[in-house]
Amino acid sequence: MGFPKVKVSVSDGNLLRSINAPDAVPALLTKEYTGSIMTVWSASDAAIKGVTAAAFPKTAALLEMFSKELAGYKALYLAPATAENLEKLATGYNVNIAVWIENSFTAKSLQTLSNTVKGVCQKTQAAGFPLRILAGGQMSADVLTETNVKSFDNPYLGVVAGEDSETGASIAAAALARCCKYGAEVKIGSGKNGALICLTDVILGGKAYPEYTGAQLETMHDNGYIMPQHRSGAAGYYFGQDNMCSNGDFRILAHGRIIDKAQVIIQQAYAPFIEDTIRVSDYGTLDEGDVSYLENVLECSILANMTSQISGVQVVIDKQQDIINTSTLEVSCRIQPLGYTTWINVTLGLATALGNS
């Protein structure tokens, strides 16, 4: 059974006290950067610390994009892109959203990366440190149109397609900035937050974005990539749906980030009850008062920190469980997420008269 602990098992297939559970603790991992893990507050701060355009041009461009889109200052961990560093960032630095950058990806290397980060994220989540990854790098048009990343069955990874036309920096850095700028429940492509301020023109699959037809772009988007998008009636670029490499409950980034935040809150809310006592009735069932209290503690903790980010929460503890022999308390917690207006269908037509019908 290991050391006493609060263990949270995140299930797929189901849709009181203030706790510090930040929505985004970000990291940037690149193959180009070769230094040690360090904290930077902006692109200019990174340059002072040696991450200059001369020494690490691609990494510096990514940091510039992140800073511009963020339009502010936030601690960002910078590290070489290795599985070991990814795990260290999650368990040692509490990073919960990271961008992994490589020079380029083929269909095979995308699958390899997915397998690598899935193993790391499953390990860190089981240890109590949930983590989501956004990957960026140059991909050919053939990869984008022929490789469906949703088939990877990896809810921890999202693949961001597209680079800035001037610097070649992956727009995954802009996605990371949106995750930091807004709450976990907010889509990175939310229309309310406007177009991406860090982008003027985008390269996609080696060609300028406008060179593709709408059908070609839709194919790439439906293959599960997080795509840049021009929206009718709006200037600039937005992100399309926040696709993850999965068709399950956590097929969008917002769902994953919400459940990750809930996991941290649960662990903190129940930490004081580890190795504590609970009363048992003459019939061997858990005391109703104790059960109700434990249910309320968790429900109130989640609502106190996430009431505007979710639709509801339900906590149930089965009083019939045999805690005397197992010393294990089983708790069911279900989070009802917000609904998202990703597609809006409007029936438009002419009428000879306008009535109530």
Output the pLDDT for position 71: 87
Output the pLDDT for position 143: 96
Q: Name which of 67, 76, 140, 65 is nearest 109 in CA terms.
A: 140
Do residues 97 and 131 lie in contact, with contact meaning Cβ atoms separated by under 8 Å? yes
**Average pLDDT per block of 10 residues along the chain, 357 residues long:** 65 54 88 96 94 96 95 93 97 97 96 97 97 97 96 97 96 96 95 93 95 95 96 92 96 97 96 96 94 96 96 97 96 97 94 80
Residue 1 lies in a domain: no
Q: Name which of 317, 315, 309, 318 is nearest 334 in CA terms.
A: 315
Q: Are residues 218 and 112 in the same domain?
A: yes
Q: Are residues 132 and 177 in the same domain?
A: yes
Q: Are residues 183 and 313 in the same domain?
A: no
Residue 222 lies in a domain: yes
Residue 308 structural domain: 263-337
Using the 3D structure, point to which of 241, 256, 271 is the last residue of a domain: 256
Do residues 270 and 301 lie in contact, with contact meaning Cβ atoms separated by under 8 Å? no
CA–CA separation, 200 vs 236, rounded Å? Answer: 7
Residue type, position 126, single letter: A
The DSSP letter of residue 154 is: B
Tell me the sheet residues that pair with 291: none
Residue 350 lies in a domain: no
Q: Are residues 251 and 280 in the same domain?
A: no
Residue 357 lies in a domain: no
CA–CA separation, 353 vs 349, rounded Å? Answer: 12
Residue 353 lies in a domain: no
Q: Are residues 221 and 327 in the same domain?
A: no
- CA of 320: how far to CAs of 133, 136, 239, in Å? 39, 49, 48
Output the pLDDT for position 18: 45
pLDDT digits 0-9 by tens, 300-340: 999 999 999 999 999 999 999 999 999 999 999 999 999 99
Q: Are residues 178 and 238 in the same domain?
A: yes
Residue 286 lies in a domain: yes
Q: Are residues 240 and 291 in the same domain?
A: no
Total domain count for the chain?
A: 2
Residue 148 lies in a domain: yes
CA–CA separation, 20 vs 17, rounded Å? Answer: 10
Q: Are residues 109 and 239 in the same domain?
A: yes
Q: Are residues 209 and 317 in the same domain?
A: no
What is the CA 341 to chain-centroid distance, rounded? 19
CA–CA separation, 91 vs 114, rounded Å? Answer: 20
Using the 3D structure, point to which of 226, 256, 286 is the last residue of a domain: 256
Q: Are residues 171 and 215 in the same domain?
A: yes
Residue 16 lies in a domain: no
Q: Name which of 215, 252, 248 is nearest 340 in CA terms.
A: 252
Do residues 179 and 157 lie in contact, with contact meaning Cβ atoms separated by under 8 Å? no
Output the pLDDT for position 81: 97
Output the pLDDT for position 72: 85
Q: Are residues 243 and 269 in the same domain?
A: no
Q: Are residues 303 and 225 in the same domain?
A: no
